[in-house]
Amino acid sequence: MEIVITHLGNISQLIPVTSVVKGIKKQKVFTNITLVVAKEEFCYIYKYNKDIYKTMTLDEFSQSYHPYDLLINLYPYFPDDLYINPEIKQATGFYFCKAYDQFAESLVGDKIFSDMNIHQLYFILSGLTWQGEGYELGYYPKTKTHKNRVGVCVANANVRNYVLDNLDLEDKKVWYIPYKKNIFRKMDEINRCKKIITDDLITFHLAIALRKYVYYLNTFSLNTKLEFFNMGEIYKVPMNIF
């Protein structure tokens, strides 16, 4: 079976897509999965995932006439003139099913689904039932974990200092996670630590994927529930700290 998954969102939204890939492969072992993203620089996210047959940009997909049994669109935007390939037998997700319109604003707008995490939303759009599948990036960090180290990735200095002063870290050493555009190098840095403190969604997803305990700082409203897989908690920061 040939399946193409399209998602034209940002990196923090693309990382959880790997849980859908895992769910599909669990149910349909003999399946080729192609992923379509907005930019070429996003394709590398999936380079180590052996369950993904191919990645391509939207431009490459628009010029391709490869036959697919199913197209799954996981992002509210989809070009009107793109779905013209007669070789695509069936399509689901945003744009192709009005029943899914209610989810559109959970990714790009203000509507909040407080009882639904991003994995559940993606599985519903794919016509599947989420059974607790997590991330599958396929990358194994080149660093060792230091059990007494806490990694910090917080941009706002006031927030960072407040958390370090008020959160009981049991005398653990603090490691300031350096900015890394490449998510695999970022995973290397995250893996040095036992626990992570962050207000960054990319860092959150990568840390949970690496089974780190995460304190996620609730610095802005989220449209879907965060799924910690029993490995973290939301830490609320008082508004007067900002």
**Proportion of the chain above pLDDT 70, given as a percent:** 90
d(C-alpha 6, C-alpha 80), whole Å: 14
Q: What is the DSSP letter of 218?
A: -
Q: Domain containing 6 — which CATH number?
A: 3.40.50.2000
Q: Are residues 92 and 153 in the same domain?
A: no
How many structural domains is the chain composed of?
A: 2
Q: Are residues 14 and 103 in the same domain?
A: yes
Strand positions, DSSP E, 82-168: 91-93, 113-117, 146-153
Q: Are residues 102 and 158 in the same domain?
A: no
For Cα atoms 73, 186, 126, give the angle at the middle one, nearest 5 degrees: 15
Q: Domain containing 205 — which CATH number?
A: 3.40.50.2300
- Please report the pLDDT score of residue 171 as a whole number: 72
Q: Are residues 56 and 115 in the same domain?
A: yes
- pLDDT tens digit sequence for 174-218: 999 998 889 999 999 999 999 999 999 999 999 999 999 999 998
The residue-averaged pLDDT of 28-33 equals 86
Q: Are residues 120 and 11 in the same domain?
A: yes
Q: Are residues 74 and 169 in the same domain?
A: no
* Residue 171 structural domain: 146-241
d(C-alpha 187, C-alpha 37), whole Å: 21
Average pLDDT, the chain: 89
pLDDT range class, residue 153, cuts 50, 70, 90: very high
Q: Is residue 90 part of a domain?
A: yes
Residues 189, 143 contacting (CB under 8 angstroms): yes
- pLDDT tens digit sequence for 158-183: 999 999 998 888 778 999 999 888 99
Residues 6+ apart with CB under 8 A from 131: 23
Residues 6+ apart with CB under 8 A from 38: 8, 9, 57, 58
Cα atoms in the Cβ-side hemisphere of radius 13 Å centred on 113: 18
pLDDT range class, residue 143, cuts 50, 70, 90: very high
- Please report the pLDDT score of residue 62 as a whole number: 85
Q: Are residues 97 and 48 in the same domain?
A: yes
Q: Are residues 86 and 199 in the same domain?
A: no
Q: Is residue 139 part of a domain?
A: no
- Please report the pLDDT score of residue 20 as a whole number: 96
Q: Taking 70 as the threshold, does the pLDDT of residue 53 lie above it?
A: yes
Q: Is residue 153 part of a domain?
A: yes
Q: Which of 61, 90, 125 is the last residue of a domain?
A: 125
Q: Are residues 10 and 121 in the same domain?
A: yes
Model pTM score: 0.91
Q: Is residue 101 part of a domain?
A: yes
Q: Are residues 101 and 13 in the same domain?
A: yes
Q: Are residues 32 and 116 in the same domain?
A: yes
- pLDDT tens digit sequence for 85-131: 657 888 899 888 877 766 776 666 655 556 789 999 999 999 999 99
- Please report the pLDDT score of residue 106 as a whole number: 65
Residues 212, 137 contacting (CB under 8 angstroms): no
**Proportion of the chain above pLDDT 90, given as a percent:** 62
Q: Are residues 42 and 109 in the same domain?
A: yes
Instruction: Output 45-53 pairs: Cβ under 8 A, ≥24 positions apart.
Output: 45/11, 45/14, 45/15, 45/137, 45/183, 46/18, 46/137, 46/138, 48/137, 48/138, 48/139, 48/184, 49/18, 49/21, 49/136, 49/137, 49/138, 50/138, 51/21, 51/22, 51/25, 51/136, 51/138, 52/21
Q: Taking 60 as the threshold, does the pLDDT of residue 84 lie above it?
A: no
